């Protein structure tokens, strides 16, 4: 019984996230380069749909470019593992991140298209390397 409410909340959250991803994908397909004359994704409008915690995760990823799931679990230890995974998958569905498997570990990597846009935008503060 202790798992019923969190389980229902997780399923509802996944459903809502999936709906957001579908809506964004539909909007993106409606704004094809032929229709808009542009090949750039409107990252900043999509970014506004992120929750506060998702934005924290994305900002961490902007700083480090790629992080293992273990590294993310350590950094965001205040977030339960299932919730962290759910939030990461939402960010993947929004195409900010790409999930890869290296050396038996799952890594989340900043999408190169988004990364290039962020690095070229002087209003976004990134850590110097």
CATH code where residue 21 lies: 1.10.10.10
DSSP-assigned beta bridge partners for residue 107: 68, 100
84 within a domain of the structure (yes/no): yes
Number of folded domains in the chain? Answer: 1
Residue 63 lies in a domain: yes
The pLDDT value given to residue 120: 57
How do residues 35-80 score in pLDDT, each as one tens digit? 333 345 688 888 888 999 999 999 999 999 999 999 999 999 999 9
Q: What is the mean pLDDT of the chain?
A: 78
Domain carrying residue 93: 4-120
pLDDT of residue 35: 39
**In this structure, how many other beta carbons lie within 10 angstroms of the beta carbon of residue 87?**
22
Q: Which of 11-15, 32-36, 61-65, 87-91 has the lowest mean pLDDT?
A: 32-36
In a domain, 128, yes or no: no
Better-predicted residue by pLDDT, 109 or 45: 109
Instruction: Give the H/E segment covering residue 98.
Output: strand 97-102
Q: What is the pTM of this model?
A: 0.62
């Amino acid at each position: 019984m202790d798992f019923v409410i969190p389980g229902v909340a997780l399923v509802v959250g996944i459903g809502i996230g999936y709906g957001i991803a579908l809506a964004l994908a539909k909007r993106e397909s409606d704004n094809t380069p032929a229709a808009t004359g542009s090949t750039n994704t409107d990252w900043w409008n999509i970014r506004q749909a992120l929750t506060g915690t998702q934005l924290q995760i994305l900002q961490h990823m902007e700083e480090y470019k790629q992080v293992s799931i273990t590294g993310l679990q350590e950094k965001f230890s205040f977030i339960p593992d299932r919730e962290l995974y759910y939030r990461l998958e939402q960010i993947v569905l929004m195409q900010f991140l790409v999930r890869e498997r290296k050396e038996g570990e799952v890594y989340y990597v900043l999408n190169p298209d988004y990364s290039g846009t962020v690095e070229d935008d002087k209003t976004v503060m990134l850590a110097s390397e």
